[in-house]
Structure formats: C-alpha cells, structure tokens
C-alpha cells in the first residue's frame, strides 16, 4: 500500500456517500441540501497547498456541489458523469497523469470501474460490499464525517508532505 500511495498526484472523489453522508434532503422549493464536513474541506485545501490536484466525479448534479467545489477551489468537477469511467478518462488527460498516480474514493456500484483503474482505490465504511471488495483501503471514518480528510492525511504523511503543510498554516 505504501508504494501505491507514494505515486499519488491526484485525489478524485465521489460526492454522495463520500463527501456527504449520502442523504439527499429536498427542501420545499425542490432544492437540494447537502451536509459537508469542514475537516474534509480543510484537508482538500491542505492537499492542494501541497501541490496535488483534486477532482469530483459524480453521477448526479447539484448546485450545492458546484458551490462547494468553488469554495474549496477543487481543480476539476464532473457532474452528471455516468458512466463515471468516461469522466475519469477526461480527467487523466486533463491532468496529464497515469492511472497509478490517482487515488479515488467511492462508495457505490457506479464507482467500481474507476476504483478498478486507479493506483489507490479507497472505500468508505458505508460503501456497498462490492466497492469494499475492490478497495485497497477502507477508511475508519464514514463518508461525510472525515473520510476524505483521513485519506488526505494518509497520502500526505506517506509522502512526507504533512508537516510542511501543517507548519505553513
């Protein structure tokens, strides 16, 4: 696992169930409300400060996701990406990276084709069994509750980039 993590240059993530707890709340006017974890957000900021690229690949589309991506300055966003593997291939070309340089965090069946390609495949504990089966790592923290931050810290610490980022705060 350590050798896989040392090659990572890009973190790509699903949204529902990974950056959120998977619940979709619809308000009375039909708008979606999503809960994002603040520590996941700071982790993404730290990851980018360390020189890494970030991306969202989600099969759904939501204004809340667009707003969160803008707020965190995530490098690429692919919404309505189904099948996700098509967006993933575009992301590889856009970032000029290889499969082994990408970590992807997923939780459900549409994530499997991407998880099977990347260098470091991560599932959250609330993932379906089929996703956990193809994952290299299953986070301790759940989606929407620090799972993304856990993965970011793992990558940065394995690549000796955590302390420099922490000290730059």
Mapped to the 3 state alphabet, what secondary structure does 70-115 carry? HHHCCCEEECCCCCHHHHHHHHHHHHCCCHHHEEEEECCHHHHHHH
Q: Give 74-106 pLDDT, tens digit per residue.
A: 999 999 999 999 999 999 999 999 999 999 999
Q: Give 1-48 pLDDT, tens digit per residue.
A: 899 999 999 999 999 999 999 999 999 998 889 999 999 999 999 999
Query: Sorting pLDDT into bands at 50, 70 and 90, what band is 157?
Result: very high
Q: By residue range, what is the domain housing residue 51?
A: 2-167
139 has a pLDDT exceeding 80: yes
169 has a pLDDT exceeding 80: no
pLDDT of residue 91: 98
Give dist(CA 62, CA 64) in Å, integer: 5
For the domain that residue 140 is a member of, what is the CATH number?
3.40.50.1000
Q: Give 100-120 pLDDT, tens digit per residue.
A: 999 999 999 999 999 999 999
147-158 vs 38-49: helix axis angle to the nearest 10? 30
Give me the number of domains the chain comprises.
1
Other Cβ atoms within 10 Å of 80 Cβ, number: 9
Strand partners, 68: none
Give me the residue label for tokens 């499969």: 99
Pairing of strands 10-13, 120-123: unpaired
């Amino acid at each position: 696992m350590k050798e896989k993590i040392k090659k990572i240059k890009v973190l790509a993530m699903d949204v529902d169930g990974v950056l959120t707890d998977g619940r979709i709340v619809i308000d009375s006017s039909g708008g979606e409300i999503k809960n994002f974890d603040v520590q996941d957000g700071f982790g993404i900021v730290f990851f980018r400060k360390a020189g890494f690229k970030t991306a969202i690949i989600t099969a759904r589309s939501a204004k809340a996701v667009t707003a969160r991506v803008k707020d965190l300055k995530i490098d690429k966003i692919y919404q309505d990406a189904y099948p996700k593997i098509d967006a993933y291939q575009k992301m590889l070309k856009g970032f000029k990276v290889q499969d082994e340089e990408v970590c992807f965090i997923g939780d459900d069946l549409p994530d499997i084709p991407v998880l099977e390609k990347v260098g470091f495949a991560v599932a959250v504990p609330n993932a379906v069994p089929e996703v956990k089966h193809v994952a290299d790592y299953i986070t301790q923290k759940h989606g929407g509750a620090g799972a993304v931050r856990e993965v970011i810290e793992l990558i940065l610490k394995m690549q000796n980039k955590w302390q420099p980022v922490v000290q730059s705060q």
